Amino acid sequence: MQKSIVVSILRTCTKKECRELRKWVESPAHNQRQDVIDLFGYLMEDGCLYNDDLLEKARVYRKIFPKSEFDDAKMRQTIYFTTKCVEEFLIYQELLSDEIRGLNALNSVYRKRKLDKLFQKNIRATIKKQEKQPYRNGKYLRNKYSIEQEQYYYLSGIKRLELNLQSISDTLDLTYIVDKLRQSCLLLAHQSVYKGKEYDTGLLKEILKAVKEKDFFKYPAVAIYYYTYMTLVEKEDESHFYNLKSQMIESGFLFPKSEIRDIYLLALNYCIGQLNAGNVIFHRESFEIYKNGFENKILLDEGFISRYTFINVITIGGDIKEFEWISKFIIEYQQYLEEQYRESVVSYCLGKLYFEKGEYKKAMEQYNQMEYDDILMNMNAKVMQIQMFYEQGEFELIDSFLESTRAYLTRKKVIGYHRDNFKNFLKFARKLVRINPSSRPQRDKLKEEITTTSPVKQKKWILEKLKEL
């Protein structure tokens, strides 16, 4: 039974779900087979689901049917009906998870049974509940369309002359536009990762045209996905990004956090692309998106922050000198880091904060007391240490530190871009320390070499220090 469907499902269930599932299995309304109850009870015993010996089919059979010889066909039948019962529970739970869909299903039942008064009462309650929903996303529109369909079926069934055909048509258009725009954004995001993958976008061109011509921008779900798509497609036109940012701030609350989080991440990716292209104003834009996203708990993914996101927030905040905010961020949000990375990430980020503030003694204390498991964190910390040695005029220490860092980089498996980035920094940092400051030809030659080399970690800093000589 180790690889059976029912075991795979039960391993994903929470304790609460298991309690509810037991009630379901033991209810005569859902199951009338004692062998199913017995098998479920056995599987729920402590440790059973994760012990292959306890899940051996013959052993399970003896537990369920202690008075009969092993019968594989009989055992498979019991497993089948147990699986079916569990799956029906999951279907029921999924249907209950959308209250509006459940109410509208009841509307359909009342309409088909010609219970007019009950239909009218329930459809009013459904519409009222629908309008109280906090979100105005694609799911809201799909439910709205389904409700209007039920109204139409009812009205046409009682031969009413005034039907809601126009409203149904409008809602259908709006629902399709939102879903199509969202799906198009997902296609683009996928293409950015899997280069060369092409998709037929169908009616997308017509939809983009219709959105502009018929002023669908008044609907937040249309506006936010339209500007997301345009931001991804027309990267050079920054107006799309700023329109998207405005929608995120003004209408973000109209979407579930899991949905609006994807928009925030796409916007951040756009900002990173702009920064990589040298557009420095996007340091501020990135920071504002991070700040808004965390203050509204949008960028928390199932209650966690990835260590890379945490470090990015500190790096970007430090670049624009938002020291007070990032200091509070480290204190308040470190609890959301995975425990196994928390200590090292907090240490690294505190060191980064102190470094940007010019508090080099505190920064050195952080970096001297910890060796980071993450190679890139370790290399970035070493880069900052080299910069601090230079800023404090400790040139005797730099030479040996540069050599030990070069040796570390050679030993570790640092991939392509990152290896070249750090390798070039170490090369030019060494030349910066050893150059004759009174020789203009040497300075000019080094400047030319640095300028024409890519990538170079902290290129701007090296050029600034060279200019100061």
pLDDT recorded at residue 469: 84
Question: What does the block give as tokens for 461?
Answer: 């800093």
* Interior/surface letters 266-280, b for 16+ CB within 10 angstroms, e for the rest: bbbebbeebbeeeee
pLDDT recorded at residue 250: 94
pLDDT recorded at residue 277: 84
Which residue has tokens 């004692």? 34
Question: Going by C-beta distance under 8 Å and a sequence separation of 6 or more, which residues neighbour residue 322?
Answer: 287
pLDDT recorded at residue 190: 86
- In sequence order, what are the beta bridge partners of 305? 337
Give the start-to-end residue ranges of the domains of the chain. 5-96, 99-175, 387-469
Task: Report how far residue 395's alpha carbon sits from residue 31's, in angstroms, rounded to the nearest whole number.
Answer: 79
- In sequence order, what are the beta bridge partners of 365? none
Mean pLDDT over each residue of the chain, to the nearest integer: 93
Phi, psi of 337 (to 5 degrees): -75, 150
Residues of the chain with pLDDT under 70: 414-416
pLDDT recorded at residue 286: 96
231: Cα separation from own chain's centroid: 19
CB atoms within 10 A of CB 60: 21
Residue type at 419 in one-letter notation: R
pLDDT recorded at residue 215: 87
Task: Report how far residue 138's alpha carbon sits from residue 329's, in angstroms, rounded to the nearest whole number.
Answer: 33
pLDDT recorded at residue 198: 82
